A and B are shown apart, each in its own frame.
Chain A
Amino acid sequence: MRSDRASLGLKIAAVAGLLFLHLPILLIFVYAFTTEDTSYQWPPPGLTLQWFGVTWNRPDVWEALSLSLRVAAISTAIALVLGTLCAAAVARSRFFGRETISLLVILPIALPGVITGISLRSAFNLAEIPFSFWTIVAGHATFCVVVVYNNAVARFRRTSGSLIEASMDLGANYFQTFRLVILPNIATALLAGGMLAFALSFDEVIVTTFTSGQQQTLPIWMLEELVRPRQRPVTNVVAMVVVLVTAVPILIAYYLTRGTDTVAGQGK
């Protein structure tokens, strides 16, 4: 068997698989320019740029986008702190219950989102906490921790413990060691984890439907349009912009972790 050449069948299957993954997304790009505004007609009867202007002047889209960005920023910040702390503890020492902690971090993303969502909702109801910006953040931060944790723990494992010992031997205290030795070593992993956590939060819809009350994040706005289409052209434009915008942090995270043994998206 010659092992250096792929068979034709394999090539076709692999390329067909990749096309299957990408063509549907590219289709949205075409629909963003269609002149048809009441149905999903294919091929588009004509092409136009007018829907970009219409979308630009829609306050509800801007509000949803702004809420999504704020939620994602704060959830990412919380997840960065909690995920790094947890990774530092798990990677540096062996202790009773270590496996349980890894499981606990992964659980919010391993269990179906509908369960996380409904649990949080009923807990907020029981505790009589009104739905607000912060209830959305509480949900998002919970499942974003795992992404940061995964990236950080992989980097901690490859960062030699003797570096920390050397730093302390040379007279640095824990805080100096963290700032001058640990942080520079894990910075790109944290940045990558943060990017992915941001993307995850920005896109989340299932948990958010349970924790958002009256407020609309961008995915909730999209969901409304999917269930009851009212503004098809605007939805097309928003969908296209969302694809482009979410691709940016993914590409950045990829370049940050390239050449390391971390799979940047492991956590999702």
Chain B
Amino acid sequence: MGPVAQVSDALWRRPRVLLLLLLLPPLLWLGIVYLGSLFALLAQSFFSIDEFSGLINYEFTLRTYGELFRAANLDIILRTLAMATSVTIAAAIVAFPIAYYAARYARGRWKALFYLGIMLPLWSSYLVKVYAWKLILAREGILNWLFETLHLDWLLAAYLSIPVLGGNSLSVSWTGTFLVFLYVWLPFMILPIQAALERIPPSLLEAAGDLGADRGQTLRYVILPLALPGIVAGSIFTFSLTLGDYIVPQIIGTSARMIGQAVYQFQGTAGNIPLAAAFAVVPIVIMGIYLTVARRMGAFNAL
């Protein structure tokens, strides 16, 4: 018996050893490279920065976390939460009809078309998508041109004069940031909703009809409750991705920062790693709470 066969036999007798050998490389990589880095970062959030020298003071303190609650920083957190919430709600509303049509009515060739129609934008380059919106929202871009051609520029001007939502132009407004977020994360909402809807047996809908429910009632009392885990699953993506993004608000939006930008700037130009680390903990905690609630609602079965 050759050495290879001997090794194989030894492994057959000891399945635990085989399991360990299989798991060792990925665990070493993810455990050391990833978790190691993550903990190294989180540990630094318990240090503070010396205000005079700008050097990190390696003593345990909760002062850095306290700084999160200063008005300016709290604003950043609340602003990001508001954006993530509104993007998530809007994505659910826009995604639902697409997912519903793809799951219930699209057949054969159309089904494939719908599937690719959702997958291609999902996987096409994130930066290219952001760039496309820079073209669309630019002052000389297609959206302004459309409003002017339709003689509706007064409407756009009126909208842009609304305090928080508007701004000098769409590309430097809260609305612009919102639209881009909605666009880039929308496919992440469609897929889980579609998966949830596909699991509803058609006979349930027929039963609802037989019992006298009209379309609206069937939607309200049968389809929506069954689709809810899918919606919650999709919202995990849209919420989490918006929470941590720093590129979209940097390119399209106001000068008011979001959490991702704060993390980026504190670690980069400001050189305040402890505060950046503390800021990074915020989305982790928020997502932790969110995931716990989502698990209760059965969202993980819809992923």
**A interface residues, Cβ below 8 angstroms from B:** 1-3, 5-7, 10-11, 13-14, 17-18, 20-22, 24-25, 27-28, 31, 39-43, 78, 81-83, 85-86, 88-89, 92-93, 95, 101, 104-105, 107-108, 110-116, 118-123, 126, 138, 141-142, 145, 168, 173-175, 196, 199, 203, 205-206, 219, 222-223, 226-227, 235, 239, 242-243, 246-247, 250-251, 254, 258, 263-266, 268
User: Bound complex: CA of A78 vs CA of B264, how far in Å?
Assistant: 28
Whether A3 contacts B267 by the Cβ 8 Å rule is no
A-B contact pairs, 26 of them (CB 8 A): A14-B97, A14-B101, A17-B186, A17-B190, A20-B186, A24-B129, A27-B132, A27-B135, A28-B128, A28-B132, A104-B30, A104-B35, A107-B30, A110-B287, A111-B244, A119-B280, A122-B44, A122-B273, A142-B30, A145-B29, A173-B9, A174-B18, A219-B126, A222-B131, A226-B127, A243-B128
Identify the closest chain B residue to A239 (Cβ).
B128
Chain B nearest CB from A155 CB (Å) reads: 16
User: Bound complex: CA of A12 vs CA of B12, how far in Å?
Assistant: 59
Using Cβ atoms and an 8 Å threshold, which residues of chain A touch B187? 21
Whether B100 contacts A14 by the Cβ 8 Å rule is yes
| B71 at the binding interface (Cβ < 8 Å) | no
Contact of A199 among B37, B41, B123 (CB under 8 A): B123
Chain B nearest CB from A219 CB (Å) reads: 5
User: Bound complex: CA of A155 vs CA of B141, how far in Å?
Assistant: 46
Identify the closest chain B residue to A17 (Cβ).
B98
Stretch at the interface among B61-69, B150-158, B160-168, B207-215: B207-215
Chain A nearest CB from B71 CB (Å) reads: 23
Whether B101 contacts A114 by the Cβ 8 Å rule is no
Known pairs A116-B34, A219-B125, A250-B119; list 9 more (Cβ under 8 Å): A11-B101, A17-B97, A81-B25, A107-B34, A114-B245, A145-B26, A222-B127, A246-B125, A258-B112
Whether A141 contacts B123 by the Cβ 8 Å rule is no
Using Cβ atoms and an 8 Å threshold, which residues of chain A touch B7? 174
| B49 at the binding interface (Cβ < 8 Å) | no
Contact of B121 among A10, A25, A168 (CB under 8 A): A25
Given A17-B95, A28-B131, A82-B26, A111-B267 contact (CB < 8 Å)? no
Chain B nearest CB from A37 CB (Å) reads: 13
Interface string of B1-28 (1 = CB under 8 A from A): 0001101110110010011001101110
Whether B283 contacts A111 by the Cβ 8 Å rule is yes
Chain B nearest CB from A91 CB (Å) reads: 10
Whether A40 contacts B138 by the Cβ 8 Å rule is yes
Whether B244 contacts A113 by the Cβ 8 Å rule is yes
Whether B191 contacts A21 by the Cβ 8 Å rule is no
Contact of A173 among B8, B122, B202, B280 (CB under 8 A): B8
Using Cβ atoms and an 8 Å threshold, which residues of chain B touch A28? 128, 131-132, 135
Q: Is the interface of A mostly helix, strand, loop or mixed?
A: helix
| B270 at the binding interface (Cβ < 8 Å) | no
Identify the closest chain A residue to B263 (Cβ).
A114
Using Cβ atoms and an 8 Å threshold, which residues of chain B touch A254? 115-116, 119
User: Bound complex: CA of A115 vs CA of B40, how far in Å?
Assistant: 12
Q: For the complex of A and B, list the 4 residue pairs with the smallest distance between their C-beta atoms, beginning with the closest.
A: A112-B244, A173-B8, A13-B97, A1-B209
**B interface residues, Cβ below 8 angstroms from A:** 4-5, 7-9, 11-12, 15, 18-19, 22-23, 25-27, 29-31, 33-38, 40-41, 44, 94-95, 97-98, 100-102, 104-105, 112, 114-136, 138, 140-142, 145, 183, 186-188, 190-191, 195, 202, 205-206, 208-209, 213-215, 218, 240-241, 243-247, 250-251, 260, 263-264, 267, 273, 276-277, 280, 283-284, 287, 303
Identify the closest chain B residue to A18 (Cβ).
B117
Using Cβ atoms and an 8 Å threshold, which residues of chain A touch B191? 263, 265-266
Contact of A227 among B27, B30, B251 (CB under 8 A): B251
User: Bound complex: CA of A122 vs CA of B130, how far in Å?
Assistant: 28
Using Cβ atoms and an 8 Å threshold, which residues of chain A touch B303? 266
Given A28-B135, A119-B41, A250-B123 contact (CB < 8 Å)? yes
Whether B131 contacts A21 by the Cβ 8 Å rule is no
Whether B202 contacts A83 by the Cβ 8 Å rule is no
User: Bound complex: CA of A201 vs CA of B277, how far in Å?
Assistant: 25
Identify the closest chain A residue to B42 (Cβ).
A119
Whether A40 contacts B37 by the Cβ 8 Å rule is no
Given A175-B4, A265-B191, A203-B126 contact (CB < 8 Å)? yes
User: Bound complex: CA of A145 vs CA of B245, how far in Å?
Assistant: 21
Whether B119 contacts A82 by the Cβ 8 Å rule is no
> A14, A24, A123, A227 — which one has the most chain B CB atoms within 10 A of its CB?
A24
Whether A22 contacts B205 by the Cβ 8 Å rule is no
Whether B100 contacts A246 by the Cβ 8 Å rule is no
Using Cβ atoms and an 8 Å threshold, which residues of chain A touch B141? 40-42
Contact of B120 among A123, A219, A247 (CB under 8 A): A247
Using Cβ atoms and an 8 Å threshold, which residues of chain B touch A88? 22
Chain B nearest CB from A94 CB (Å) reads: 10
Whether A6 contacts B101 by the Cβ 8 Å rule is yes
Whether A196 contacts B123 by the Cβ 8 Å rule is yes
